[in-house]
Structure 1
Amino acid sequence: MMPRTDDLILFAQVIELGSFSRAAEAHGLTNSVVSKRIARLEAELGSTLIHRTTRRLTLTEAGRVLFERAQAVAQSAQEAFDAVTGYSDTLQGHIRMSVPTISGELLLAEAVAQFCELHPAISVDMSLDNRFVDLIGEGYDLVIRTGHLEDSSLIARHILDSRWTICAAPAYLSRHGKPQVPEDLLQHNCLIYSYQESGARDWLFNRFGETYSLRVSGNFSTDNAAALRKAALAGHGLAYVPRCLVYPDLQAGRLMELLPSRVGKVLGIYAVYPYNRQPPRKIKLLIEHIRARYMAIRHYF
């Protein structure tokens, strides 16, 4: 028997919202009805789609494949309804997104909250996380990523480039001197931003148009950008961080930028979403809203 299209759409909604109860509420159904319809879908396909625990839903391999297709079915159905009813003039629904901690705290929390205020029928669940989340497997609609994109099943919209900087407090430099060349850093206490699993101590520099790494050392490391900034402000060492994190401190003289012409780390910031023929209009509008907020403070980067 061919699975019913509305069951596929309901299945996609369950995964997107993360629970049977939320999907039931969104569709005006009871939990038991949603559970029975998903069980019917599994029976018709002859495959278990979801592992259910008391705390979370986990997709099986078959479930992950079907979820990607079911999202496309739900999107195509919505586009068809929009084309006939003109409903695309108003936006509604739920968006689950993940953003880096620095950008999240700097501008995205406020930007996304403003987007929700502009579109009251839309709700957004925003997670602040530096790791490269699995969009499909973890059910994200949109991710803001800083770094390099390798997954061909995703589409990335470049927003802008984020330049990194080496900085230190005037008090630290008065005690230990100001490095004149990158190799001078080997004699300094370098505070390590260990948000990445590897390469945190390998700082990148430019030389004759080429990029090379220099392995530094220090007595303090953290995976939290705010903690690293505070350690640098307190004069405990040099920090190698995204410039946007410390831009106000550089402007106010609380931190001094070092070797600006030699620092070689620049990472792109991207809006990333699963590969579909056409992302939902609400996602496209949210990306444009976010991009405009980044552009408004591009001098931070």
Structure 2
Amino acid sequence: MKDSADLRFLLTIRASENLLAAARTLGLTPSAVTQRLQQIERRLDVRLVDRSARRLRFTEEGELLCTRGAVLIEQFDALLDDLHARRGGMVGTLKINAPLGFGRRYVAPAAAHFQELHPEVDIALTLSDEPLTEIADRFDVVVHIGELRLSNLIGYAVAPNARWACASPAFVKRYGMPATPEALAALPCIALPENNEDVTLWHFSKGRTTRSVRVPGRLSCNDGDVIRRWALEGRGVIVRSEWDVADDVARGTLVRLLPAWKLPDANVIALTHQRTGLPMRTTMFMRHLQARFRPVAPWRVR
């Protein structure tokens, strides 16, 4: 391992589905990628990648090298960024991941404004609803909504966000207003698969009383905008984030059900890999993002 370039090369391969994809990213031919990989393996006298599998699969030693190497690269880049920052500027690429709907409505404008304020910083924003464990390593900042399960990531509060059960006025007129959470089990409901949760088991609380209800998820979609539209069309009950349906409830196009019962909050948080040693661009973007939701989150301004 001669220098950080070899580590960066291996990390690019690790982030790719196959050698051909890695070659395209690196701007090399597949044979050149293979040759360089073999040279690194010969120098280390250890096999790093199992190339017999249909997809690239790193050996245990290869995973160890990439995992620890990624930390070293991050620290090295942070050092260079800090040196640049001492000269009064911010440079480099900031890689951000955010959920599809929230990212479109709130993170994308914040990222564009941040880049306008700091033109030497390049922004790479990716919107997706992949499970957190599958995408976190590829980004500097991950915007996450909901409970943060076991993770080694560091969370920073961005904005409060409740979850509401909602349906259209036409749906309520047809089926009636449910009086208890248990009544939802007899109504058409719409499920939103996210964060690897059990999406048809809805949890409610009122004071010290809790209720968990298994609802019939006759319709489901991983796109929150789709299930919101289905609810507006009167197709079922949804549980959706306050940020997404507060305007509909205010306009009367959706009705909040069981307002005396509370669903688990789904607060907005921003995640990074470490608390200290972050590049200046990452720290400043985090502050920029938080400032856009203070003193009151826009979905709570009425």
Which band: TM-score by shorter chain?
0.7 to 0.9
Structure 1 gap ranges (5+): none
Superposition deviation, residue 174 in structure 1: 1.8
* Equivalent of residue 4 in structure 2, options 6, 26, 43: 6
Superposition deviation, residue 176 in structure 1: 2.0
- List per-residue Cα deviations over 1:189-208 (Å, max 9, x = no partner): 22222335552121111134
1:231 to 1:117, Cα distance in 2 relative to 1, 3 A: same
Question: Does structure 1 residue 127 correspond to structure 2 residue 161?
Answer: no
RMSD of Structure 2 on Structure 1 (CA): 3.5
Is the Cα contact below 8 Å between 1:161 and 1:267 reproduced in 2?
A: yes
Relative to structure 2, which stretch is displaced further, 181-190 or 236-245? 181-190
Matched letter for residue 227 of structure 1: V
Q: Distance in 1 between matches of 2:298 and 2:82?
A: 40
User: Who is 1:290 aligned against?
Assistant: 289
Q: Distance in 1 between matches of 2:184 and 2:103?
A: 30
Superposition deviation, residue 60 in structure 1: 4.3
Q: Distance in 1 between matches of 2:287 and 2:14?
A: 22
Superposition deviation, residue 93 in structure 1: 2.5
Length-normalised TM-score, structure 2:
0.79
Matched letter for residue 250 of structure 1: V
Is the Cα contact below 8 Å between 2:78 and 2:278 reproduced in 1?
A: no
1:253 to 1:75, Cα distance in 2 relative to 1, 3 A: same
Superposition deviation, residue 228 in structure 1: 0.8
User: Who is 2:216 aligned against?
Assistant: 217
1:140 to 1:73, Cα distance in 2 relative to 1, 3 A: same
Is the Cα contact below 8 Å between 2:144 and 2:271 reproduced in 1?
A: yes
Superposition deviation, residue 230 in structure 1: 0.8
Structure 2 residue matching 1:184: 3-state secondary structure:
helix
Structure 2 residue matching 1:265: 3-state secondary structure:
coil
User: Who is 1:156 aligned against?
Assistant: 155
Matched letter for residue 124 of structure 1: A
Matched letter for residue 123 of structure 2: S
Identity, in percent, stands at 26
Superposition deviation, residue 166 in structure 1: 1.0
Structure 1 residue matching 2:160: 3-state secondary structure:
strand
Is the Cα contact below 8 Å between 1:181 and 1:259 reproduced in 2?
A: yes
Length-normalised TM-score, structure 1:
0.79
Q: Distance in 2 between matches of 1:112 and 1:103?
A: 13
| 1:22-61 mapped onto 2 (5 Å cutoff) | 22=25, 39-49=38-48, 59-61=58-60
Superposition deviation, residue 232 in structure 1: 0.9
Relative to structure 2, which stretch is displaced further, 42-51 or 126-135? 42-51
Superposition deviation, residue 267 in structure 1: 2.3
1:80 to 1:185, Cα distance in 2 relative to 1, 3 A: closer
Superposition deviation, residue 241 in structure 1: 1.1
Q: Distance in 1 between matches of 2:167 and 2:79?
A: 56
User: Who is 2:183 aligned against?
Assistant: 184
